[in-house]
Structure 1
Amino acid sequence: MSNHEAIAFEGEFVRVRRFDVQLSAGPGHNGENAAELAPLAFRAKWMFEQGLDAEKCVAVSVTGESMLPTLHPGDLVLVDRSKSDLRDSEIYALVDIAGDVRVKRLERLKDRLLLRSENVTFPTEMRTPSEVEQMTIIGRVVWGAHRPTVVKSRK
């Protein structure tokens, strides 16, 4: 990026649409008819540097513990919907075979697809070619924000 482009972006923000959808890190949730919430603001320069287009991104929440320690329940993630091409070992938002919206690390294995959890207590799931055809990759998770854990004060 040139110095002129950097100055043009300085202090400017772009808005990313946010939806009341919780990507399940576990078995799954249905995200149909999700309400649109107030958008999130990201620095335009950062979006540009990451190769992201705000119009092609959405912000949603994570629920469940299968993606710990990478993603925590309540985390907010930015999903790039233009990146639905599968790159092994990346984390994706997806609509699974039962229609549930989920977040998993995906990996191709010959003609099958593995849905991996980060939390070792959760099993890796496998999808057959016919099941993969029923799935929809929403996009790649490109950013996440951890929600701080609230600790009750001790008296």
Structure 2
Amino acid sequence: MDTRRALERLIAERGEDYAGLSRLIGRNAAYIQQFIKRGTPKVLAEEDRRLLARYFDVPEAMLGGPTAEPERGGDHVEVPLLAVGASAGPGALPDDERPRAHIAFDRKWLRAMVAGDVEQASIIRVEGDSMVPTLADGDEILVDGSDAADRLRDGIYVLRADDALIVKRLAVNPAARTVTIRSDNPAYPEWPDCDLSAVNIVGRVVWTGRRLV
């Protein structure tokens, strides 16, 4: 079954619509319909294919991807735990961004968590209380370095500001090309309407772990 027929069948079986799926992958509302009905584009872009396969929970091969993923190290990926903190407060200076340890994650689990290349994932420690109750001081956060400024949307990100790392919640205004930088702790101020070009995005926070005491 070719890619277009497979995608059309999935849409019909799941009760989805073309416009909604197009918006899901960040495209214009007619994108999926044009792909299926008109053959434009000829093939799905790699990132579009990955997002659709993940959404429908099907192998990428069904949508035109490779039939098997290269092993690249087997069933696990060693994600670096960096010797820096991302401040949920005034800002942590990244004096040493070399890994101080590595944590092994199941490759399939990690691919489901990150948007792109699993090799661009890293783990950073949270410092401070400005993101309480979502993130607490000492939490370890998984940062997807492949999901940064080019796919920016509402969510929690690690930013670099004046050589300091901070972790904040971003609310994007695509029409004005501005972003509001917020803390989840209401005791901290927000920075509204910041120019997108002035915000240095390190990556999106996709998972957190903490020690129970």
Question: TM exceeds 0.5?
Answer: yes
Which residue of the partner structure matches residue 88 of structure 2? Answer: 25
Describe the shift of the 1:43–1:100 C-alpha distance in structure 2 as closer, same or farther (beyond 3 A): same
The separation in 2 between residues aligned to 1:134 and 1:111, in whole angstroms, is: 11
> Is 1:136–2:200 an aligned residue pair?
yes
| 1:48 counterpart (111, 124, 135) | 111
| 1:86 counterpart (152, 170, 173) | 152
Superposed CA RMSD: 2.4
Aligned-residue offset at 1:125: 1.9
Q: How does 1:1-155 map to 2 (within 5 A)?
A: 12-51=75-114, 53-84=117-148, 85-88=151-154, 90-96=155-161, 98-109=162-173, 110-126=176-192, 128-129=194-195, 132-149=196-213
Aligned-residue offset at 1:27: 1.4
The sequence identity of aligned pairs, in percent, is 36
Q: Does the CA-based 8 Å contact 2:114-2:147 persist in structure 1?
A: no
Q: How many pairs align?
A: 140
The separation in 1 between residues aligned to 2:79 and 2:170, in whole angstroms, is: 25
TM-score for the superposition, normalised by structure 1: 0.78
**3-state SS in 2 of match to 1:49:** helix
Q: Does the CA-based 8 Å contact 2:94-2:165 persist in structure 1?
A: yes
Aligned-residue offset at 1:44: 1.5
Give unmatched runs, 5+ long, in structure 2.
Answer: 1-57, 60-67
Which residue of the partner structure matches residue 25 of structure 2? Answer: none
More strand by percentage: 1
